[in-house]
Every structure is written in C-alpha cells, then in structure tokens.
Structure 1
Amino acid sequence: RKSKKPSLLVVNKADNTQREEETAEFYKFGLGEPVPISALSGRNTGDLLDRIVEGLGNKLKKKPKEKKVDFDEAIDEEAIDIKPKKLTKNKSIKVAIIGRPNVGKSSLFNALLDQNRAIVSDIPGTTRDIISTVFKYKEENIEFIDTAGLRRRGKIGKTTPATKKEGRIERYSAMRSLKSIDEADICLILVDAMEGIVAQDLHLAGFVKDSYKGIIIIINKVDEAENVNPETYLNVLKRKFDFLPFASAIFLSAKTGKNVKKVFDILLEIKKAREVEIPTPKLNKFLEKITIKNPPAGLKNKKPKMKYITQTGINPPSFTIFTSYANLIHFSYERYIENQLRKEFDFNGTSIRIVFRSKQGDKSGNR
C-alpha cells in the first residue's frame, strides 16, 4: 500500500469450494478482493490471468511486425539487413544438475558448494523441490540448481491408490525439473558408474541437446565402482553418447569429493565457448571455403546455394544461413556445417543452433 503500486491479493491452495469461501477473511488486509487459486491443480488460474490483463490495461502493446528482408540486396552488402539478436552476456552461469533418481545429484550439489544444502538419502526420489544457490568462483557467479530425479515418462506419477498423492507430487517435481533445464545455460548429466548407462540417461541427454544447452557428462560414484576401468568406460560413453561428440566428461565421486573441483574450470570453459562472437566477414569466408570443398546436394534442377551466414545470438551460439531451397538441406549437411564450425572456432562443450532461410518469395520455405 505504501508503494502505491497496483496489486492483486492471490490466495493459493484454494483446492475446493469450501476453501474458496474461507478466503473471505483475507479482506482484512485491505488489498481488495482476494483471488482464490490452486497452483497445483490450476483451479481459477484463468481468472487470475484475466485480472492481470485487466490491470495492465494500456501497458499491453502489440509486438512490432518483423521487418522483411530483401534477400538479393542483403547478400551483396557488407552487412546484412537483419540485425542479430542482442548479444548480451549473462551475469551468472545457471547450471542444472540432472539425472535419474538416486544417481547422486544432491550429493554433488552439496559437494560443489562444500555445504549440506540438499537432503541426501539412498531412497530414490528424496529431492522433490528445486534448490538453487549462487557460488562465486574466479570472479564468476555460478548458480547451481539441484533438481528432482527424472524417471521414464511412462513411470512418472504411476503409483498405487495408497500413494496417489505421491504420484501427483512426482509429476509436479518432474515439471519443475524440466523447467530448470529450460532455464539453465549448462546441464550436468549424472550417470551412475555402478549401474552403467541406461536408456533414460540417453533420453535426458537428447532432451538437453535439443534445448541447445552446454553439457557435461558426470560419471559419479567412482569410489564404489572399483572394477570400472575409466578408459574402457570412456569408450562405451563415446559410443552410446555418439550424438554428443562435443560434450565434456568427468569421472568423480560426490561422496569423497574426488575430482569435484574440476567441474568449475570446465564450466567456465563452456561459458566462454557459449559467448563466442564471430564477425560476419569471417563467417562468410568460412562458409565459402567449406561449400567449395563440399557443396550441398539437391534434386535435378534444384540445388541449394549458400549465399550468406551471420551470427544471430550467443548462449547458445546461433547462426542463420541464407540459401536457396532451404527445405532441401539434408540433416547430414547441417551436421557437416556444425562440425566444420566446431573445427574452425571454439565451441567445445556446447550445442549450437543453425537455421536455414530462403530468400523472400521463395516457396521452398525455411528450415
């Protein structure tokens, strides 16, 4: 009230009609009509959204239409008519610790911070909520996020009637974990050295890659896996995670602290790679060189011709390539360009995004 800012009084956990009626007592705060909702079930959240929109009033503005590009003119100019997204570097590195239940995520979280912030137990599913802490290392702020273990999609929330509430909590925890991955810059994917690499580890890694994150594969519990040969295990790791050739890997023990501190330097290296900015002229010389060496294939009378490349963002590094017949670019050729980008520039440990665009009026579309 003292700030004189517009406000809404939102009363959560109003899961049924009776609880909605009980929210009347909140009128005593003098903040107007309370809005009863249930964040867990989504009850009345639509009404809340309507109240928010109503309160914003004229502050809501339509997004300006995207400026059309004169493709033919753009490729002849020193600088293209499309301005890259603002290349702003993050103030802190967001790092999500993810993996299956009971692979040691909370133990690693505590070991990295050198304090007991998260509850550690041998019982799978101990972590239910998201815990995050900012840690300073070499003048860089690193926000570590401990997430709930993610089981296979078909198993999430599948419980007996006696534990139906547990099932709902698990589904909610899984949603929070996936949201943390989406908001993170780098993900630490934990693998249990004792159990080896299973299908769910690969599924999670694929999800992280498709989200264009930095990736470190952590092989945890090496102190308990005395018979594991690191060199042999690394070969298996490379074979099974063959879709992540750029990912860093480290063997450690969250329990004893072995190699835990090495994670910090790898994180800073990946952050640096995700913030690399390449001048457009340098990129176009690179594109010309690799397309002469290996031009893209196409159909009989329709062969894509690479015209122009520009960097459109960092964190993750993002590139737009202007070409004819963008829809005919095969995924293998996209992989070729990505591999050449990694070879030419420093993108170790991070995914990169490549978008192909056709010129204005070309019916072949974008990719």
Structure 2
Amino acid sequence: MKRNIIAVGALLFFSAVLFSCSDNSDNNPEKGLSLEQSLKEKTVSLTTAVDEITSSKGFEIVTMNDPTTVAGTTKQGSDDTKFSANITLDDIKGIYEYSASIPAATTETKMGYSSKFEKTGDSEEFIIKLPKEKAGNPWKLYMEEEGDDSLVNDFVITTTEYNYYFSMDEGFQFNNLVNSSITVEDEPAGELFVNWDIAANQNFNYESKFSFTDDYSVGVKFKMGDTIQYAYNLKNGEDVLFKEEMQFTKGDGENSSYEYKLSIGLIEIVKNSTSDSYLVYRDGVLEEGAVVEVINNSGESTEANVVFCRKGRDLKITFADESVVVLSELLGQDTLDKMAEIFSSMYDMYFVNHVVNKVAHEAYYMNQADS
C-alpha cells in the first residue's frame, strides 16, 4: 500500500512538473508580454515575412509594372488590355511555346491578332512556355529583338482554371478567372489566382492571391454593390501576419453600417458604426486602456477613408501605461513601402493582363482559324 501511495505521489509530482512546463512560453508565447511588447514582436514577424517575399521570384511577377514606368522603354501598341471575347479553358487547352522563328508573313492570324506562339502538344490544361526574358518584359513579347533565336523557353505557366468574357453589347460586362502555377528554370515560383467579375450595373467583385514557395501568401478582395468591401491579407500558411479590411453596407440613414479591422498577428484593432472609438483585442480578449487614433502624415488626428497598408492612413496607439507607438514607425518605412508595392500590384495584375490573357487570346484565335 505504501509503495502505491509513493507511486501515485510521484505521478502527481511529475504531472505537475509537466503541466508547469507546458504552460511556459513555448506553448504560450504571449504570456507575460505587455500589449506593446506583443505588438512589437508581431511587427518583427511581419517585417521578416515582407523581406523574404520581396527577395523571391514571385515578387517580381506580382509587382510587374506597366512599361511606361520603366526607364528607357515605351509602350508598344494599344493601352487597352480588354478584348471582346468569350473564352473558356476548353477553347485554349494545350501546350503553347514561344517561337522567335515564326515567319513574318504569319505573325498575324486571320483575325488580325499577332502571333508568337505555336501549339506543340495536347493537354487538359493551358500551358504557356516562353523565355523568362520575355515573361519579365511582356511589352517586348511581340517585338523582334536581336538574340531572340537563342532564348530558351524556361518560364512555364500552367493554368488549370480559365475564363475570359468581355462584352459591350448590353452594357459593360467582364469576367476573368485565372488559376495558374509558375515555374522558372524548372524551379517553382508560386501560384496565382485571380477572379474578377463586373456586372452590367457596374457592381463588381475582385479577388486575387499569390502563394509564394515558402508558405507565404498575399491576397486582396474588393466588392462594390449594396455592400462596399475591401480586404488585404498576408499569411504564413493559415496564420495571419497582417490583415486590413473594411465593410460598408448602404442603407437609409441609421440603417447603414460599417466596420474597420486591422490585425497584426493575434492583435486586432476594430472600429464600427456602433462604437465611439477604436477597440484593441489580443487573441479575442479586449485590452482595456489602449487608445487608437488615425493620423495623417503630419501627425495630426484625422479620420481617413483609405488603408494603412497602402500608406493612406497611420495609427497612433497609446497604451494603458501612457507609452505611445506609431504603427508606421514600428514597422519601418522600408517595410511599409514594400507592403504598399505588393498590395497595390495585386489589383488588376499586369502579369495576368499582358502575359496570360494575351497568349490566351492568341491561342483562342489560332484554334478558331484551324477549325
């Protein structure tokens, strides 16, 4: 009996020790940190993520610019990237490879569309193979330059979902769905998703996401209709490193409502039409005593209708102990500049319009001519 009591006592002792260890910072990293300390820790994680994203191949794809912004170049052809058509994946599926040696006499299809690609195989997907030099400078895709014959098709876009519809017959209507993975020199560069829909009444929904190769992803959503909504996010897997969103629902007078949220890790700043001030939550628990002000670049208090992650507003936080931080200063100007570049590029992505959609149109007209 005595031996059993000792055994039970030992078991309880070790259980208590294990419980104490499991309650340490390894499983509860927020324990013991003030709100200010926790916020600073989360901004370090966000800064690290932004630095790693901006050094990746995917970043170059996401932030591809209009040629008029590149020194020493001029835009070729029309500025209009919308074409009247109704194209599905079935219309363009197959393998299409860039060829600099297509004879000049056949560089335009009978539909009047420039041709620089040849269909080289069958596939249930829409696969584009082109040189990285052309993919990175799509305004040169249909230009003839010295050295084109020596380029290698080492940039591959594999599209598993595609739809393109643009019509002015009954008012402006547009839909573009692209779901693609990208490899460069046989190395994965990321996955791209865009879904953009504009109805005849000009209501629209837009969503885009780019998943990088190291589990980071960035995404944006916009909605315009009876409800106006925007959302920006940066994640590591399923973990939110940054999110900023606003939703405004139209109504008559008091029936209208809005809500604004900014999250950095588990810390969330919220204001809505039912609250007189911004509230700060940590892991879902309200932090008493934290005061948030929206400020402009001069540091004066103001109420802006634009977003922090694109440098449209800034947030000043006064904590319960009266210490103060300005969110832009906490992140640093370099990180904020990079975030603004990433998120502004995620809307109406240049790469989709000037590479994927242009080659899709060429493939469509090519197949129409062959049939």
| TM-score relative to the length of structure 2 | 0.23
| TM-score relative to the length of structure 1 | 0.23
If each structure's strand is expressed as a fraction of its own residues, which one has the higher value? 2
Q: Which of 1 and 2 has greater Rg?
A: 2
